[in-house]
Amino acid sequence: MEHTSNEKLLDIRDLSVEYHSNGKIVKAVSNLNLSLKKGETLGFVGETGAGKTTTALSILRILPELPSRITSGEIWFNGENLLLKSKKEMQQIRGKEISMIFQDPMTSLDPVATVGKQIEEMIGLHEKLPKKELREKAAQMLEQVGIKRERIDDYPHQFSGGMKQRVVIAMALSCNPNLLIADEPTTALNVTIQAQVLELMKNLKRQYQMSMIMITHDLGIVAEICDSVAIMYAGNIVEYGTVERVYENFCHPYTEALFDSIPSLDEDQEELKVIAGLTPDPTNLPSGCPFHPRCPYAGPECAQQAPEVRETEPGHIVRCHKDLKGGSGNE
Amino acid sequence: MFKYIIKRLLMLIPILLVVTFVIFTLLYITPGDPAKMILGQTATEEAVAELRAELGLDQPFLIQYLNYMKDLIFHFDIGTSYTTGQPVIDEIMNCLPATLKLALSSILIAVVVGVPIGVISAVKQYSIFDNIVMVLGLAGISMPVFWLGLLLIILFSVRLGILPASGYSTWQQMILPAVTLSAQSIAVVARMTRSSMLEEIRKDYIRTVRMKGQTEMRITIFHGLRNALIPIVTVIGTQFGSLLGGAVMCETIFSIPGIGRLMVDSIKTRNFPIVQGGVLFIAIGFALVNLLVDIIYAFLDPKIKAQYK
């Protein structure tokens, strides 16, 4: 939160993204609104298939071209609409302005190029430097993420998963981006390595003073490093606010359910609590509020009409007909 | 790497032993007496028997084989042709330039045409280009060489009169046979390139490169194609290996005195030493091409290179 200013860095307005699969249309994201201030870290939380990664890929405009399409919306970044940019302009923004860390470090590096070359490629695309300096800068980036510079000529398969993710982080940060999108950067790693990578990201974020979107399933990670949090369900944000506000005063039944599903150390639990029902079929979303079939508080209006967003307090937004207070579950 | 190459070359020895034994056996049990073939139908029994003794054909199978191997191993001698009396090695060497020229030019065409077609087809999957090219590819694989060769001769040599229909010394003479022979290889290389590329360009690391701001052209070539090369190099190797064995049809149509024609003529006249020598030569050629392909793997994939140490 230390560097957060009031200036908006990213502002997504009414974004809708569809996938076409087997003649069916999947609404991955529908009318999503989201903004991010300079220096802010936003946690993006939701189940698999909620549309988190799709939103992130839309910002960079690297959605797989054939089956997916941004059907409406605007993505404003630093005062410019990214969806109106030409291919070439986007190429200059990718990596330099907005950078991304992907979920699985095992597959996100080119297996036949040395890690040094892959970092150099990134730097070389955005800065015209002689070869020697490129290499030196790549080596420095490796040191930044705690990898010895001697390993610059090693190939990805010579690194462990955690080390690979460090390489990916080094690469993503090598052009000093304004916005870093981290798509579940620790999901594929084991727990001890997760902690190390998170710590590293936290430090680098401070050092580079960038804004960050952290996509995750893990509410603990959000509490640790994020300023604000957006809870996503079935292609839309159902609750948004500062981490303090949302964690202490969540207003959406889905957010409540997410918190409830965290096992408690104090109680002796026989079974883990789960959210009843399944994530809805994205080709056939329920009418009204997409969460209503699983919602313990759902009333008749929930099945009929999609809820509008409400502001329960400045900066705390919720998309629900009901009014949960402080997670007590009372209307 | 060097050790690996030496090891692979040593492994050639057992392979060649097996090859010589198998071909020797096959020829031994082949009906038809070489001595009779040489002397003709009118020869007397005595004359045939005499020639058989002279050629060593009257001896038991194993003795014949051991004699052959003895000459091969100690004198690098693989016999003399029954018909011309020339050393087999000379006969093969005489045919080698034509075959090499034909094989090299066809494989060159196959790579230069096949790889780009495959890449474009993969990048523009299901486009009109992709569909047309894949149908043509199917045609290319199924089209018999003798038919395509004749069609090309009719069009370019007879009707248009711009290309010679036979010979192999000038590059103009090489065009028609090389194109004819490469049709199948183009199709095979293009299809393999397409499927290998389709697999690679959907992988996560491609998305990473795209995230860096790299241009699509460079993503496709320096990352996609670069990673897709291993299966492509493999089919190019196999195609080249079989082209080295001579292309009988093609050589016959365009009157090119290559290995393929030499082998077929020798089989017809029961000229066993040539057939044996030819098979041995083809086997060595195939093995060397395979070795070359394996060495190229090491340069293409650091994981494979690490295993070679």
Same domain (yes/no): A194, A285 = yes
CB–CB of A112 and B210 under 8 A?
no
Same domain (yes/no): A199, A65 = yes
On average, the pLDDT of chain B sits at 89
Domain boundary residue, one of A139, A160, A176: A176
CB–CB of B213 and A111 under 8 A?
no
What's the pLDDT at A50?
86
What's the pLDDT at A325?
60
What's the pLDDT at A131?
94
Same domain (yes/no): A261, A183 = yes
How confident is the model over A306-315, as pLDDT tens digits?
Answer: 898 888 888 8
What's the pLDDT at A2?
46
Same domain (yes/no): A245, A307 = yes
On average, the pLDDT of chain A sits at 88
How confident is the model over A171-192, as pLDDT tens digits?
Answer: 999 999 999 999 999 888 888 8
What's the pLDDT at B207?
93
Interface probe for B, chosen from A99, A112, A151 (most Cβ of B below 10 Å), is A112
Domain boundary residue, one of A131, A157, A176: A176
Mean pLDDT of A322-328: 60
Q: Return d(Cα B104, Cα B81) in angstroms, integer.
A: 27
Same domain (yes/no): A270, A287 = yes
Q: Kindly list the structural domains of chain B, giving each domain's residue range(s) and its CATH number in brackets, ordered by start.
A: 15-77 (no CATH), 92-308 (1.10.3720.10)
CB–CB of A112 and B203 under 8 A?
no
CB–CB of B204 and A102 under 8 A?
yes
Q: What is the CATH number of the domain that holds A71?
A: 3.40.50.300
Same domain (yes/no): A43, A136 = no
Same domain (yes/no): A35, A65 = yes
Same domain (yes/no): A63, A206 = yes
Q: Is the pLDDT of residue A327 over 70?
A: no
Same domain (yes/no): A184, A276 = yes
Regions of chain B where pLDDT drops below 50: none
Domain region containing A133: 107-176
How confident is the model over A254-285, as pLDDT tens digits?
Answer: 998 888 888 877 777 677 778 888 888 878 88
Three-state helix/strand/coil letters over chain A: CCCCCCCEEEEEEEEEEEEEECCEEEEEEEEEEEEEECCCEEEEEECCCCCHHHHHHHHHCCCCCCCEEEEEEEEEECCEEHHHCCHHHHHHHECCCEEEECCCCCCCCCCCCCHHHHHHHHHHHHCCCCHHHHHHHHHHHHHHCCCCHHHHHCCHHHCCHHHHHHHHHHHHHCCCCCEEEEECCCCCCCHHHHHHHHHHHHHHHHHHCCEEEEEECCHHHHHHHCCEEEEEECCEEEEEEEHHHHHHHCCCHHHHHHHHCCCCCCCCCCCCCCCCCCCCCCCCCCCCCCCHHHCCCCCHHHHHCCCCEEEEECCEEEECCCCCCCCCCCC
Q: How many domains does chain A have?
A: 2
ipTM score? 0.88
| CA-based nearest distance B238→chain A, Å | 24
Same domain (yes/no): A132, A281 = no
B211 → closest Cβ in A66, A94, A126: A94
Domain boundary residue, one of A159, A176, A193: A176
How confident is the model over B282-305, as pLDDT tens digits?
Answer: 888 888 999 999 999 989 999 888
- Alpha-carbon radius of gyration of chain B: 24
Q: Is residue A331 part of a domain?
A: no
A84: CB partners within 8 A, 6+ apart? none
B281: CB partners within 8 A, 6+ apart? B92, B259
Q: Is residue A27 part of a domain?
A: yes
How confident is the model over A108-137, as pLDDT tens digits?
Answer: 999 999 999 999 999 999 999 999 999 999
Q: Is residue A190 part of a domain?
A: yes
Same domain (yes/no): A165, A251 = no
Interface probe for A, chosen from B126, B211, B222, B301 (most Cβ of A below 10 Å), is B211
Same domain (yes/no): A73, A148 = no
